[in-house]
Amino acid sequence: MRDGLIAELREECGVFGVYGHPKAALLTYFGLFALQHRGQESAGIAVAGGGQLTCRKSMGLVGEIFTRPEVEGWQGPAAIGHVRYPTFGSSNLNNAQPLVVRARTGTIALAHNGELVNAPGLRAELESQGAVFQTGSDSEVVAHLAAQSGHEKLEDALLDALRRASGGYALAVLSEDALYAARDPNGIRPLSIGRLGDAWLVASESCAFDSVGATMVRDVHPGELVRIGPGDEGFRSFQVSPAGRPALCSFEYIYFARPDSDVQGRNVHLVRKELGRRLARDYPVDADLVIGVPDSSVSAAIGYAEEAGLPNEIGLVKNRYIGRTFIQPTQEGREAAVQVKLNPLKQVVDGQRVVLVDDSIVRGTTSRHIVRLLRQAGAREVHLRITSPPYRCPCFYGIDTSTSAELIASNKDVPAIRKAVGADSLAYQTIEGLTESLGYRPDEVCLACFCGDYPVRVPGQEPRRPLTRQQSWAARPPAAGS
């Protein structure tokens, strides 16, 4: 749980695929469980076997939709699966994935993580040519582009379609006889390749490989389309377009990925610990203990406590058996859900000066609520430390923040945010601290939500000068009489 992205944003999706295993559907079922944190609105599995594709999808969690005996009965050597939060298209079953499309190249199922920035324009163009859309998802745009390409081979149709698409995407496509995986030219959205015996797998995160006993082989390269098929063709790689500026979403490390995942060779838990260490060095404070907002900020809190020489405590207990707070339709509902979901440990925080580590502040309402919970439990001081820089700009590549108006850091400076959330002090990670902790240069990772430097041009958005220098983002209450 975190203030920003779990409580107030709809995040990304997760994709998983298997080729060449007799229990492909069962492996996909387990893989989706491992990726459930990436999408809790809907889930689906498509299976290829006996010369046909079958697909089942529904609203809800993986364990609510499928049963193991049911999935074990699905025969076929290849399958793909998807867990979804909506970033483009409304929240309903019609937009759940995988999408199944029939065209001259045969029947395909498609699972997509990310967002195409030019989807509205492409959709209007396709509709003017007679295309009929069944969903509001930008994923269907890719399917229509492939169907109208005129190519007989699916790989050629996909290459043609993806060369027209722009944005951040990780794509798994299943045909009756092959599995395809593709990643956007900037590598904004992650996608990896694994092996289990003779079978090939693809997944949004390496933790999904671990869950089925598979081994990660490599990441899908930016701008690459991989075809995994039978016989002599086997594993084949195609270049959709030349790789662009490297721009992996920095929030994969800050929040999205599970701590046991490795993202582009870097373990997420260790990266988050370093983010916490950097905050402790840059923004120390006299305090008695450190707590992290579960779950994504626990690793960073460990790093902060180790660097600061302070005890690291469990100060907030999470109820894991209720849905995600942002699903509530109103802000009042979200805040009520936070109170049910997070309970402070009064015996730990009572009378203490607390460092509260979280990964982001988006609107600020949930941060304010958590600070209030700690004060009601007796915390004498609450010093908020955020492992990301201020979230100032909307994301157009797969996170549901479409306007700056909903982002508190776009409209308030840090002292005003500190006052709004009620903390005794507030400090954000600097961009320099973030990129050095991640192990990247500023031009090797996407920082658009912090500085507006979009790696892929977004129609209607003016580019901003990137903020890549060391910049202090910290605030305390004004001194008495100032």
Q: What is the pLDDT of residues 82-138, one digit of tens each?
A: 999 765 455 678 889 999 998 878 899 999 999 999 999 999 999 999 888 888 888
Which string of DSSP letters, residue by residue, matches 38-56? Answer: G--SEEEEEEEETTEEEEE
Tens digits of residue pLDDT in 318-358: 887 665 444 444 555 555 566 678 999 999 999 999 999 99
**Does the pLDDT value for residue 428 go beyond 90?**
yes
Res 336: pLDDT: 59
- 13 annotated active-site: yes
Which range is least confidently modeled, 164-168, 260-264, 316-320? 316-320
Structure token digits, residue 288: 């008695």
Tokens 């709809």 found at:
10
> In the chain, what are the domains?
5-244 (3.60.20.10), 266-475 (3.40.50.2020)
Give the residue, 319 or 466, on which the prediction is more confident: 319
- Find the mean pLDDT for residues 301-308: 98
**Does the pLDDT value for residue 214 go beyond 60?**
yes
Given 13, 207, 446, 451, which residue is catalytic?
A: 13
Cα distances (Å, whole numbers) of residue 206 to 71, 191, 201, 400: 22, 9, 10, 24
Res 280: pLDDT: 98
Res 107: pLDDT: 92
Q: Measured between alpha carbons, how far is 277 from 280 in angstroms, rounded to an integer?
A: 5
DSSP 355: E
